[in-house]
Amino acid sequence: MLELIPSLIEKTFPIPGRFKGKLPSDIAELSRLLTNNRGSRGLSYLTRPNFLSAYLHYFMPWNLYRLCLLLPTLNLNLKAGNSITDLGCGPLTLTSALWLSRPELRDVPLEFNCVDRSGPALEAGKKFFDALCENSGCKNVLWKINLIKEDVDIRQVKSAKKRKPAVLVCAVNMFNEIYENLSHNNTEGLRLMAKNAARTMCNEAAENASILTVEPGVPQSGKFISFLRDALMESGHLPSSPCTHVNACPLSGGAPKMIKGRNWIDTKKRWCHFALEAANAPKELRRLSAAAKLPKERLVFSFLLTGSPTTKKGEARVISDAFPLPYDRFGRYGCCERGLILITGEKDRIENAVSGSIVQLAATGQYDKKSGAMISAL
């Protein structure tokens, strides 16, 4: 179904021929505004027709592809009658990704509160979701979609809205638009924003709700996710994924840490993020990326899901690419209840332990001189 998404978007949001040739340049311009020229972008960029069109034809399908790889791995535990609140939802990307990647939920009556400041993005998202359901051959859609035009500002945390508390509260690619203008050295400012973000999401949550946040896989986002984890734990929301433990995050972005008096771990050089290959993305989407001169080889992101921890002793989550080590060995970094670890082994074994996977620890009792991480053999 993902392979059909670009053509479904083209059918749902056709671009007149005289404007179609401008799409790659609009995509490139929006990409610059979302990265290098953030200060001149403005928070309401999706109200501009050319940028909304670029977002729908390029950024939305890439986000769908990424979420469709992530969502099937998560224990969301949704049941009939449950309510989901998606803050800063844009064109309902998360809702559409759930429909695509979790087909077992299509027969479950669910209510979605889709909250965003951009009315055009909300309307476009609903139009695409309806087209997606129709394309799936579903004549009786059991999901109720509430479009809520509302500004979500974590700097001014308000009381809970008059809507049903949600069993799943989501924010995908939202918080980075608020903290992105902070200096990367402003650790306390980022920590405060994470606390406000946690309060904002908790205000929407039912008792024992799950909270899902997905952000770009850059260092600043990794630090934010770590601080958000701390703040949510203080509110009683324990990490379920990607964390394999409920101990302190070893990649909190603070000062370098001493491990048992041995070596320093410089957390400024490492952050929790995951990379997925983009080679299997829809061909038309990759063609459009090339036309916009924005080729993608990997999709990199940071995320956090709270819920029921599934901690198992001796497990670690792989959080880096593979890299060579002396003596024909290879390694990847991982995270476990004992902190940051360096997973080592033969090339084939390390390459097969892909980013995001779970591995069993075999501690060697040694520590890496470069990173200070405990060494574990795979």
What residue spans define the domains of the chain? 2-256+282-306, 315-377
Per DSSP, the three-state class of 29 is helix
Mean pLDDT of the chain: 88
* Cα–Cα distance measured from residue 374 to residue 169, given in angstroms and rounded to the nearest whole number: 35
Per DSSP, the three-state class of 247 is coil
* Cα–Cα distance measured from residue 331 to residue 314, given in angstroms and rounded to the nearest whole number: 18
Residue 42 pLDDT: 54
Per DSSP, the three-state class of 10 is helix
Q: Are strands 274-277 and 263-265 parallel, antiparallel or unpaired?
A: unpaired
Other CB atoms within 10 Å distance of the CB of residue 206: 15
- The backbone region for 343, taken as left when phi is positive above 0, alpha when psi lies in -120 to 50, beta otherwise, is beta
- pLDDT for 131-176, tens place per residue? 999 998 887 899 999 999 998 877 665 655 678 899 999 999 999 8
Quote the Cα angle for 60-91-167, to 5°.
Answer: 110
- The backbone region for 330, taken as left when phi is positive above 0, alpha when psi lies in -120 to 50, beta otherwise, is beta
- Reading the block at residue 376, the tokens are 């574990």
- pLDDT for 200-219, tens place per residue? 999 999 999 999 999 999 88
Among 250, 281, 283, 280, residue whose Cα is nearest residue 268: 250
- pLDDT for 279-338, tens place per residue? 889 999 999 999 999 988 889 999 999 998 766 778 899 999 899 999 889 999 999 888
Residue 253 pLDDT: 52
Residue 261 pLDDT: 43
Question: In the CATH hierarchy, which top-level class contains the domain 2-256+282-306?
Answer: alpha beta
DSSP single-letter state for residue 373: P
Residue 369 pLDDT: 83
Where is average pLDDT lowest: 183-192, 251-260, 366-375? Answer: 251-260
Residue 263 pLDDT: 44
Residue 45 pLDDT: 73
- pLDDT for 108-143, tens place per residue? 999 999 999 999 999 999 999 999 999 988 878 999
What is the crossing angle of helices 5-12 and 60-70, to 10°? 140
